[in-house]
Homo-oligomer: A and B are copies of this chain.
């Protein structure tokens, strides 16, 4: 089954008409390692699901890349900013492994909200869940040491360590690669 529909159904009821309309607008893409899904300022994709693969979201600060999250299989992702404002995200999304991804464009999503207002309940629930995740992330950055953030990460995404290099993880944690290497020594 279309994995976007599958994810949407976790948040609320979908009529069969709405389901059909989502099906029609879902695109399946096969991407290679190092490809970009979204380059900031370009495509406006709304929600998407990784059927297989691994992604990172990052932005630039002082000409350096800063990772904001990593995405693994069977989760729903989205850049809320484009959905909310209809404007491009500052975030880039890159595949870290060969991947299979299902996506809906922002225009299609907004059309779906217009045609099937019932979808707003699902959209509300997803946005609320993202708020909860972002609140936890803020608190972690606000109050935890680098060591604590590292431990939380390997607890929550244990497979990540073997799938991405240290530099990416250090960037996510907000520390240098050298510091992360020293943290791991113990």
A135-158 interface (Cβ within 8 A of B)? 135, 137-139, 141-143
- Asked if residues A135 and B81 are in contact (CB atoms below 8 Å), the reply is yes
A84 within 8 A of partner (CB): yes
In the bound complex, residues from chain B placing their C-beta under 8 Å from that of A1 are none
Chain A contact residues (Cβ within 8 angstroms of B): what range? 20 to 34
Nearest CB on B from A168, distance (A): 14
- Count the copies: 2
- Asked if residues A132 and B61 are in contact (CB atoms below 8 Å), the reply is no
- Asked if residues B134 and A81 are in contact (CB atoms below 8 Å), the reply is no
Q: Is the interface of A mostly helix, strand, loop or mixed?
A: helix
- Flag the segment in A20-28, A37-45, A117-125 that touches B: A117-125
Q: Please measure, in the bound complex, the distance between the C-alpha atom of A120 and the C-alpha atom of B12, giving whole angstroms.
A: 12
- Asked if residues B142 and A68 are in contact (CB atoms below 8 Å), the reply is yes
A66 within 8 A of partner (CB): yes
- Asked if residues B142 and A84 are in contact (CB atoms below 8 Å), the reply is no
Q: Please measure, in the bound complex, the distance between the C-alpha atom of A134 and the C-alpha atom of B85, giving whole angstroms.
A: 15
**Which of A84, A117, A138, A143 neighbours the largest number of chain B CB atoms within 10 Å of its CB?**
A138
A54 within 8 A of partner (CB): no
Nearest CB on B from A92, distance (A): 14
Contact of A130 among B131, B137, B142 (CB under 8 A): B131
In the bound complex, residues from chain B placing their C-beta under 8 Å from that of A59 are 139
- Asked if residues B139 and A68 are in contact (CB atoms below 8 Å), the reply is yes
Nearest CB on B from A134, distance (A): 4
Nearest CB on B from A141, distance (A): 4
Residues of A bordering B, CB below 8 Å: 59, 61, 66, 68, 80-81, 83-85, 113, 117-118, 120-121, 123-125, 127-132, 134-135, 137-139, 141-143, 174
